[in-house]
Structure 1
Amino acid sequence: MNERYTVISADCHAGADLLDYRPYLESRYHDDFDTWAASYVNPHEDLLADTADRNWNSDRRLAELEADGIVAEVVFPNTIPPFFPSGSLMAPTPTREEFERRWAGLRAHNRWLADFCSAAPGRRAGVFQILLNDVQEAVREIRWAVAAGLRGGLLLPGTPPGSGLPELHSRAYDPIWGVCEELEVPVNHHAGSASPPLGDEPAARAVFMVETTWFSHRALWHLVFGGAFHRHPGLKLVLTEQGSGWIPGVLDMLDYYHGRLVAAGTKASTAESRFGAGLAASMGKRPSEVWRSNCFVGASFMRPHEVPLRDRIGLGKIMWGSDYPHDEGTHPYTREALRAAYAGVPREEVAAMVGGNAARLYGFDPALLDPIAARVGPTVAGTAEPLTEPPGDATSPVFAWGGRVRVW
């Protein structure tokens, strides 16, 4: 029996250095790119620091992840793609011309990502980007990405208030769900991808932190009540870096509303009947049943207080993530983070949460990864040892007493 865990981070981030996107753009955009890049001021301090090359330096990345006990990763975007004012998760597209340029920027990122993943065969599952403004263009990009070997699935943008897009429950997106089901493409919805702009005042930043996970959670009930999984039973949804402790309570709440509205829909004389009319036929199973058959959680740096909920969340649904290279991630203290969360948990359950579940969903090959893990992975015995003192300079929220919002 392997005495080390095969750890796959289901939440890491990468992207090209700004000017390195140029070769991946169609040539007709090169002049526009040169003009844009010459005046662009990056708003993110971490992308200007000496450590920024962790996003694109393949050799450094492999070395740092191995030193941290991680052998493979699901790669979400991080750097700014061409023609975006900020991260693509947060930027609406106000005009047709801007939309076309930003699509070109995302295609450049996806093509860079395919090369970046191929530099470490079998160890990176790249999450490619789309926009929702043109569904058929999104479908074409999904087919391209799968053919290019990007196994991490698509990154689903949000539809925040004011976006002008149909809500995610709309059947307008059925061609996207259909091709994802056909090609077995996971649909990933990452924290921060659905929040409306709130401004940059101190209060606005605080409100963003309070609300951003809620806006991210919305994708779950939109797709469930919209019937996406009923019409596309093979569709898989992954909710990443949104925590996991909220899931049991939200599923209870969604089941309650489902039962209440379906019952009301059969009684035409009640005031609530119009809210439940047609719901049972359009969405099928209860939300908790949909969760069990179709949904997963990218439980980045899972906190100790979330671990006892693993059976209610679904042991086979949880995929641990380090959030490398972000400051709130567990690097370089992943072994300590795993001890803080999983000491005392049966090894088979730990193995599933830190790697086995991600391997199955994203198509990683254990025959390739297990020998690497036998050399660098966290030991089973070491992970079982409770962490009594956190590293002095640790910054990840996993090192917070009892879930309180402060570092030990």
Structure 2
Amino acid sequence: MPVTPAVEDLPRIISVDDHILEPRDLWQRELPASLRDGGPRVSRERVTLSFTGGHYGFERGTPDGQWCDVWLYDDLAMPTGRLHAPVGMEQAEVVNVPAIYEDFRDGAHDQAARLVDMDANHVEAAVNFPNTFPRFCGQGFAEREDKDLALRCIRIYNDWMIDEWSGGAGRHRLIPLTLIPLWDADLAADEVRRCAAKGSYAIAFSENPARLGFSSMHSGAWDPLWRACQETATTVTMHIGSSSQMPTTSPDAPLAVSMALSAQNAQGSLCDWIFSGTLERFPELKVVYAESQIGWMPYLLERADIVWRDGVGGVDLPRAPSSYVPGRVYGCIFDDQHGLSSREAVGMGSILFETDYPHADGTWPRSRQVAHRLCATAGMDEADTVAFLRGNAVEAFGLGRFGIEP
């Protein structure tokens, strides 16, 4: 029988999906004075929040509302809610209500406090997605009409991510994840190369760019971007919800329905990556699905192989769809016992761990205990446990460039 290391003997974790609340003053301090009025900024107002049909809504200026840090940017107004960063709160407090930054644990937005929280959670290194108005792959910039300002704002975010958040005491612990201008694949490729030259080798992308109004994965329009990613060994990572839509069943379905169905978008996305031929055309490209779990992968790949084998799908691929996954496609677990127990069907090398700090699904400060339960229940030995908690992440993101070993 395989023996799982004791909880106190687990290796330090590399979390491939955490989040950071962007500094409220970042763009106001970095934009030239002439652009600040239209650039991202925060207004403190009374607000009420709602959730219906898979979408959040809010009303500003309500006398009985709660104080809220509202992000304003061009025509955008987006409230900060408690669900943005409820880490450390009692379960009864994890509800959809307005919030200001002072309501949150300091680690949600302060580098020094984050590093302390990582140490308390047995985490060595972490990749951090945006958390407020930029949204998970920079849609907040792509949706604005002034694309010159949007590009400038993206570069400000990326420079902050590389030089400040992932710099200083965070160097080699906070792994930079940068954004791209989704509206122009050539500009996106330029930004990939610029950020790689500064030491960032991962970008956030949409699980379905067509849903954002951009070219589909099947169009070939993204090839300049994938070429730049392959040239710079930059990993493409996609968070659930990065198509600005969460799965739901009806307009009156509660949030719980969307949360239970959260992996559906990743399933469609992986089909697009494979059947578009993108993984065939760019054989060194690596893609990561954040917060999607992996229990869905075995059946999807089995079904994709059947469709390919029978030749009924109108796709000409030289190899079976499942053959593109090993060493190239990664899924992330924060608490998916079925997925980890099915690891042989997925491929042990394709499974990563995440703590999802500071979100409601996050496992801080008990991520080590959760990881041990998952590994022990799945009957994993030391080698598989180490691969799951850190080794596979080193391979997926090329973390050797940061001095991080498996």
State how many pairs are aligned.
348
* Aligned mates of 1:27, 1:257 — CA distance in 2: 56
* Matching residue's letter, 2:113: R
1:22 aligns with: 28
Instruction: Give per-residue Cα distances to partners, 1:38-96, cap 9 Å, x unaligned.
Output: 87452422462532532331111111111111111122222334xxxx66566585564
Q: Is the 8 A contact 2:129 2:136 kept in 1?
A: no
* Matching residue's letter, 2:152: A
SS at match of 1:32: coil
- The 5 A counterparts of 1:4-83 are 4-25=10-31, 28-33=34-39, 40=72, 42-45=79-82, 46=84, 48=100, 49-81=102-134
* Match of residue 298, structure 1, among 311, 329, 332: 332
2:242 aligns with: 193
* Aligned mates of 1:74, 1:308 — CA distance in 2: 25
* Aligned mates of 1:69, 1:366 — CA distance in 2: 22
Q: Is the 8 A contact 2:211 2:243 kept in 1?
A: no
Q: Is the 8 A contact 2:138 2:179 kept in 1?
A: no
Instruction: Give per-residue Cα distances to partners, 1:323-356, cap 9 Å, x unaligned.
Output: 1111210101112211221124201110010001
The alpha carbon displacement at 1:117 in A equals 0.5
* Residue 184 in structure 1 maps to residue 190 in structure 2: no
Instruction: Give per-residue Cα distances to partners, 1:174-226, cap 9 Å, x unaligned.
Output: 10111111111111111111243799964264554355421233221111111
* Aligned mates of 1:291, 1:234 — CA distance in 2: 11
* Residue 337 in structure 1 maps to residue 364 in structure 2: no
The alpha carbon displacement at 1:369 in A equals 5.5
Q: Is the 8 A contact 1:15 1:109 kept in 2?
A: no
* Aligned mates of 2:302, 2:79 — CA distance in 1: 42
Q: Is the 8 A contact 1:136 1:175 kept in 2?
A: yes
SS at match of 1:305: helix
When the two structures are superposed, what TM-score results if normalisation uses the length of structure 2?
Answer: 0.77
Provide structure 1 residue ranges, at least 5 long, that are not aligned to the other structure: 265-274, 374-408
1:218 aligns with: 268
* Residue 288 in structure 1 maps to residue 322 in structure 2: yes
User: Residues 297, 255 of structure 1: CA spacing in aligned structure 2 closer, same or farther, 3 A cutoff?
Assistant: same
- The 5 A counterparts of 1:234-249 are 234-249=284-299
User: Residues 183, 340 of structure 1: CA spacing in aligned structure 2 closer, same or farther, 3 A cutoff?
Assistant: same
2:341 aligns with: 308
* Aligned mates of 2:211, 2:352 — CA distance in 1: 32
* Matching residue's letter, 2:131: N
Q: Is the 8 A contact 1:130 1:157 kept in 2?
A: no
* Residue 125 in structure 1 maps to residue 175 in structure 2: yes
Q: Is the 8 A contact 1:198 1:205 kept in 2?
A: no
* Aligned mates of 2:276, 2:226 — CA distance in 1: 12
* Aligned mates of 1:134, 1:28 — CA distance in 2: 25
Q: Is the 8 A contact 1:55 1:78 kept in 2?
A: no
Q: Is the 8 A contact 1:132 1:138 kept in 2?
A: yes
2:300 aligns with: 250
* Aligned mates of 1:25, 1:335 — CA distance in 2: 41
SS at match of 2:153: helix
User: Residues 107, 158 of structure 1: CA spacing in aligned structure 2 closer, same or farther, 3 A cutoff?
Assistant: farther
Q: Is the 8 A contact 1:114 1:126 kept in 2?
A: yes
The alpha carbon displacement at 1:305 in A equals 2.4
SS at match of 1:171: coil
The alpha carbon displacement at 1:256 in A equals 1.1
Q: Is the 8 A contact 2:211 2:244 kept in 1?
A: no
The alpha carbon displacement at 1:128 in A equals 0.9
1:361 aligns with: 396
Provide structure 2 residue ranges, at least 5 long, that are not aligned to the other structure: 45-69, 73-77, 86-99
User: Residues 216, 123 of structure 1: CA spacing in aligned structure 2 closer, same or farther, 3 A cutoff?
Assistant: same
The more displaced of 88-97 and 129-138 is: 88-97
Answer 1 or 2: which has greater strand percent.
Answer: 2
The alpha carbon displacement at 1:3 in A equals 4.5
SS at match of 1:128: coil
The alpha carbon displacement at 1:160 in A equals 5.9
Q: Is the 8 A contact 2:18 2:355 kept in 1?
A: yes
SS at match of 1:129: coil
The alpha carbon displacement at 1:230 in A equals 1.4
* Matching residue's letter, 1:117: S
The alpha carbon displacement at 1:27 in A equals 5.3
* Residue 260 in structure 1 maps to residue 314 in structure 2: no
Q: Is the 8 A contact 2:352 2:393 kept in 1?
A: yes
* Matching residue's letter, 2:117: E
* Matching residue's letter, 1:347: E
* Aligned mates of 2:112, 2:252 — CA distance in 1: 38
The more displaced of 35-44 and 69-78 is: 35-44
The alpha carbon displacement at 1:368 in A equals 5.5
Q: Is the 8 A contact 2:107 2:115 kept in 1?
A: no
